Structures are given as C-alpha cells and as structure tokens.
Amino acid sequence: MSEILQKIAENLYDGEEEKVSALVQDALDKEMAPEEILSGGLIAGMDQVGRDFKAGDLFVPEVLIAARAMHAGMDILRPLLSEVDAAGAGKLVIGTVKGDLHDIGKNLVKMMLEGAAFQTVDLGTDVEPQAFVDAVREHQPELVGMSALLTTTMVNMKATIEALEEAGQRESVKVMIGGAPVTAAFAKEIGADAYAPDAAAAVDTARDLVA
C-alpha cells in the first residue's frame, strides 16, 4: 500500500474527517485512480474498523465516527466513481421491519456496508413488507437486509419474505436478517439466506452472498 493510502486508512480509523478529505483530494491531485483510493484507502480503513469492532477493541461510537470520516472521503470520490461507472461491491435495500422503530443497529450496518463499497437504499424504520417489494422492484438490488429489535416484530421478517415470494421477487435477491432477538435458527426457519449477529459480520456475510 502506498504511503498516502495508508494515511487515508489510518486517519479514517481515527475518525479524522477533515484529514481524510484532504488526503483523498491529495491522492487525486497526484493522479491516483478513484477506484484505487476507494479500495486501498477508504475500504482498507473500514475493514480494519470492522475487524477491531468484531474483536471488541472498538465500540459503536468509534465505528460511527470512522464511518463519518469514510463518508467525507466518499463525498469527494463519488462523482468521479460514477463517471467511470464503478459498480462497487453490490446494492442492498435495508430497513427495520414493520412495527419496529429501532434504527441504531440498522444504521451501523448500513454505514459499514457503505464503507465496504456497497450501494445502499435505506428504507428507514417501520417498513411494510410491500415497501420492501416495491424497493426491490425499483432498485433491483442483489441483497435485502432486514432488522428487528423486538421479538414481536420478528414475524414481519417472515411476512416480508413471503411478500417477496408472492411478487415473484424472491429469486432475484438474497435476504440477510439481524437484530438483538434474531438468531441463525430463526433465519433458517423463515427462509432467509443469512443471519448476521453484528455490523462487522454483516459486511462479511454480504460479501459472501454476492460472491
């Protein structure tokens, strides 16, 4: 890794938004390719954040600060990446299911996935099954991510998968679920493709699903 990419990754890890922006611009001024800056700087930094978060060395506040630094760098790169039609890692529609207003975990997963170059469509909270269906039809993602923090709303994960099936959209997407009461056994029971216990695992799982 070149010195400037290493500095981008390190400052992103530390949550230094302004330094990340300046370094990304400096790398562009040195005629580095936007894709190289994305993968070797921003994604490399977020991958380290994910590893340390999974290991318990970082906590949610630090991850959110690092994600903001990643967004600062992406704000500069995004117009250039779209120019060269950089597809990224894949596209994901994400939301907290109907009846559930919790979004901290969902937002963290979204930020980590964006840090791994996934394009995300965030439907927010209290998302009706039909809204997931409509979003899949409109955005044609590879993945659907659903979150629930209440045992009483977990049933709406199953309802959403059934709605995707009825609409003929289920075969076109992989479904990944998560949230405090959710388990791998429940994911299997309702016909989801995968379960992710936390945001760092969600990145690895999403990469596996689109591979």
What are the pLDDT digits (tens) for 63-109?
A: 989 999 999 999 998 888 765 445 578 999 999 999 999 998 899 89
Closest by CA position to 46, among listed 202, 176, 209 = 202
Helix (H) or strand (E) holding 109: helix 104-115
Out of 53-57, 59-63, 87-91, 186-190, give the one with best mean pLDDT. 186-190
Q: Give 183's DSSP letter.
A: -
Report how far residue 207's alpha carbon sits from residue 139's, in angstroms, rounded to the nearest whole number: 19
pLDDT of 1 reads: 57
Report how far residue 92's alpha carbon sits from residue 106's, in angstroms, rounded to the nearest whole number: 12
Closest by CA position to 120, among listed 133, 101, 134, 107 = 107
What percentage of the chain has pLDDT greater than the value 70?
97
Out of 36-40, 59-63, 116-120, 183-187, give the one with best mean pLDDT. 183-187
Reply yes or no on whether the pLDDT at 115 is more than 90: no
Q: What are the beta bridge partners of residue 178?
A: 147
Who's near 127: CB < 8 A, 6+ residues apart? Answer: 95, 96, 97, 98
Reply yes or no on whether the pLDDT at 36 is more than 70: yes
Helix (H) or strand (E) holding 194: strand 194-195
Q: What residue ranges do the domains of the chain occupy?
A: 3-83, 90-210
Give the tokens for residue 2: 């070149």
Report how far residue 135's alpha carbon sits from residue 8's, in angstroms, rounded to the nearest whole number: 34
Q: Read off the pLDDT band of 211 (50, 70, 90).
A: confident
Q: 3-83 with 90-210: one CATH topology?
A: no
pLDDT of 82 reads: 60
Q: What is the pLDDT of residues 126-141, one digit of tens each?
A: 999 999 999 999 999 9
pLDDT of 199 reads: 87
- Rounded to 5 degrees, φ, ψ at 124 are 85, -145
Q: Which amino acid is at 64?
A: L
**Domain 90-210 annotated CATH 1.10.10.10:** no
| Topology (CATH) of 3-83 | 1.10.1240
